[in-house]
Amino acid sequence: MSTPPDNSTRPRQFFRMQLWLLLRALARFETTMFLRTRYSQPKMVAIGVVGSFSLAVYYPVWAYLFPQPYENLPMRLLCSATFIPLALLPWWPRRLRTHLPTYWYFAMTVAMPFFVGYMTLRNATPAWLMTHLACVMLLMMLFDIASFLVVFTLGSLIAALVFALSPEAHLHTQTMLEYIPLLLFAMVGGATCTVSSNMAEQTRIDALTAASNNIAHELRTPLGSLRIAARAVARFMPDLLRSHRLAESQGLPVPDVRAQNLHALERSIGVMEREVTYANTIIDMLLLSARPIGEVPLTPLGARECVEQALRRFPYGSRAERERITLSPTGDFRLLGEEALVVHVLFNLLRNALFHIDRAGKGEIGVYIEPDEQANRIRVLDTGPGIPPDVLPRIFNRFYSYSSDSAGSGTITGLGIGLAFCRAAMEHMGGGIACRTNLGEFTEFTLTFPHPETGDRQ
């Protein structure tokens, strides 16, 4: 006889769910902050130089050349100073670059909606109204709609608060009322153009996905024929080689073939099969990535079976790569997932680890299967170069790719969708993925799976 649920736990579960949703929303906004900052980063030095110079230079323009009712040199210089770190971005130390998105949003909030909004409220002259309108359009070009609303709303509220607390502040009610319809038109028009741009970009992505699917399916046929041909050659090649050696031993007139060429011919069969397997694996991963993860059904699986299959099917570049990887001899658990998803996730982790180990010239990889009462885990630990601390918070962001070279500088490689797909796949299976690292020592990825009988879903 089942025990009825305790009513006292329902509010606790509700608030826990609401807290999780809030944290998830904040995490997504933080990811959006990072992506928008990354897109704007090539322009930041120029924005910093122009912003710090313009705010300072326009003081004599509005104070003496075309006098405005109100000017504030200390506030103008303070806001101008917020642009200087952006102008000096190439000289930022690595440990500070982690905070670049936060500072970028802070600088834009202070310099544009706050300063320009406050000066517009104090002056309400055509010059400042046009400046405020230009500020709105610039913000819409620099940020997506959600980020724009956050930056513009926060900056405008602070500007209104400072205006309300300012002595001798007088609101030009009629002028501001006439300006509001123009401001709303600019915001709605800018938002519409932004949405249209996003729709066009999504259309291009959908077209590329469809083309990739067609190409992948078309490649199946020649790859299948090549596999059949390779197996046929592998089947009859030993007989041909024996016949050739026998003919040579009997003194028959056969072409002279060196021993190393014969060995290369024998090895080429394995190379052909391995390359076909690798190509089919890439096609499987491509098709799986293009398919919406939410449509992938989940079934009970064995963790060790999935790991062993991944290690067996992984397209190693050489025998040395395979020997770098060791699997823990014990440990297994049941999980609710999709075999191709788990194998795909492990492929990404192994490929990344082998890539960085090869570039660093050192390191080994260990795979551990660890059942636990709270949650089951698969750990992939490599003793390679590690990940810089400013890069670590971003590795699961889509379209972010980083690789550290032997000199310690960074170069962006790849498409940056592997770890983002891993996170989406793990979340679909009710689990999660986390990374811990120590630069120059190790990197460890932990895949967490809930117990399938509990039905827990994060």
Read off the pLDDT of residues 299-317 as tens digits, 9 standing for 90 and up: 888 999 999 988 888 877 7
For 96, residues 6+ apart whose C-beta sits below 8 A from its C-beta are 390
pLDDT at 166 over 70: yes
Look up residue 415 and give its two tokens. 């498409």
pLDDT interval class at 406 (50, 70, 90): very low
**Residue of 414 and 79 predicted with greater confidence:** 79
Average pLDDT (282-300) is 68
Lowest mean pLDDT among 86-100, 154-168, 203-217, 347-361: 203-217
Q: Give 230-251 pLDDT, tens digit per residue.
A: 777 777 777 777 777 787 777 7
Average pLDDT (105-129) is 92
pLDDT computed for residue 163 by the predictor: 93
Strand 432-438 versus strand 442-449 pairing type: antiparallel
- The CA distance from 154 to 172, in Å, is 22
Quick check: pTM over 0.75?
A: no
pLDDT at 179 over 50: yes
- The CA distance from 60 to 49, in Å, is 19
pLDDT computed for residue 323 by the predictor: 86
Contact 55, 84 (CB under 8 A): no
Lowest mean pLDDT among 69-73, 135-139, 296-300: 296-300
Say if residue 156 is exposed, middle or buried (CB neighbours under 10 Å; 0-12, 13-18, 19+): buried
For 109, residues 6+ apart whose C-beta sits below 8 A from its C-beta are 151, 154, 155, 158
pLDDT at 35 over 70: no
Say if residue 414 is exposed, middle or buried (CB neighbours under 10 Å; 0-12, 13-18, 19+): middle
- The CA distance from 212 to 199, in Å, is 20
Would you list the DSSP string of 174-188?
HHHHHHHHHHHHHHH
Residues belonging to the chain: 458
What is the b/e burial string over 71-92, where b = at least 16 CB atoms within 10 angstroms of the residue's CB?
bbeeebeebbebbebbbebeee
Average pLDDT (147-165) is 91
pLDDT interval class at 131 (50, 70, 90): very high
pLDDT at 31 over 70: no
Residue among 446, 285, 282, 433 at smallest CA distance from 367: 446
pLDDT computed for residue 455 by the predictor: 47
